[in-house]
Amino acid sequence: MRNLMLKDKKLERLAIMGGTFDPIHYGHLVTAEAVRHQFQINKVLFVPTGHPPHKPFFDVSHTEHRYLMTVLATVTNPYFDVSRIEIDRKGITYTIDTIQHLKKIYGSNTELYFITGADAIHEILTWKDPEEVLRLCTFIAATRPEYHKKDLLKKIEQLRQQYGSKIDFLEVPSLAISSSDIRKRVQENRPIKYLLPEPVENYIFKFGLYQ
C-alpha cells in the first residue's frame, strides 16, 4: 500500500527566481507569472541573493530591505513565495549551493526550474560548478522580444550538446523595466509609479532607499 501511494504521488514543479531584487519590479513579477503559466509550475520561489559574487557588497542594498520588498511584492499571489535561504547564508552565495539545498528540502519528487535572464545563459559556464547546476534543474531564459534570439538559441544548443542540459526560453515584454533604472529615477527625483507594486514604492520612500 505504501509503495502504491508513493507511485501515485504527483510530481511537483518548483521554479526558482533568484535576483538581488534591488528593488523588485513588475518585470520580475510578470516574468514569474508567465513562467508559472507556460510551464505549469506549482510554486515560484523568489530567492533574494545574499552576497552575490558578481557585485561588490556596497553596491547592493541591505538584505532585509530587499527581502521585505520582495515579500510585499509577492504576498497577493498564492503561487509565489519568498525564501531567506541566501540572505541568511554567511559569505558569498552561489547558485549551486542554493539549488542543492532546495533539492534536499523538496526531495526527488519535485522538479526544479531556474528562471534567469538570457544574458546569464551566455555566462553560465563562469558560474561555480556549472555542469552540476545544469544537471540539477531546467533553465528558463527570459528575454525581451527584441533580444538577439539567434545567438541565444545557438548557445542553448551548444550547452545541450555539451552537457545534456535542459534550457528553454520565454519572451517577456515587460522586461524592459530594470532595477537600475528605478534606482536612478529615485536619485533624480523622477517618478517610479507603475514600474513596481505600490507597497514596494512606499517602502522605498519610507526608508529613503536609493537617495
Give the domain ranges of the chain. Answer: 12-206
Dist CA 152 CA 129 (whole Å): 21
For the domain with range 12-206, which CATH number is right: 3.40.50.80, 3.40.50.620, 2.60.40.2380, 3.30.530.20?
3.40.50.620
Q: Say yes or no to pLDDT of 7 above 50.
A: no
Dist CA 32 CA 45 (whole Å): 9
Q: What is the pTM of this model?
A: 0.91
C-alpha cell belonging to residue 113: 526550474
Question: What is the band of 2 on the pLDDT scale with cuts at 50, 70, 90?
Answer: very low
The count of C-alpha atoms lying within 13 angstroms of the C-alpha of 167, restricted to the half-sphere facing its C-beta, is 27
Q: Can you give the length of the chain in residues?
A: 211
Contacts of 7 (CB under 8 A, 6+ apart): none
Contacts of 131 (CB under 8 A, 6+ apart): 163
Question: How high is the pLDDT of residue 112?
Answer: 97
Question: How high is the pLDDT of residue 4?
Answer: 39
Dist CA 42 CA 36 (whole Å): 7
Determine the 3-state secondary structure of 40 from DSSP. coil
* pLDDT tens by residue, 121-175: 999 999 999 999 999 999 999 988 778 889 999 999 999 999 999 999 899 876 7
* pLDDT tens by residue, 20-50: 999 999 999 999 999 999 999 999 999 999 8
In 3D space, the residue among 66, 52, 103 whose CA is nearest the CA of residue 200 turns out to be: 66
Dist CA 53 CA 37 (whole Å): 31
User: E strand or H helix at 143, and its extent?
Assistant: strand 138-143
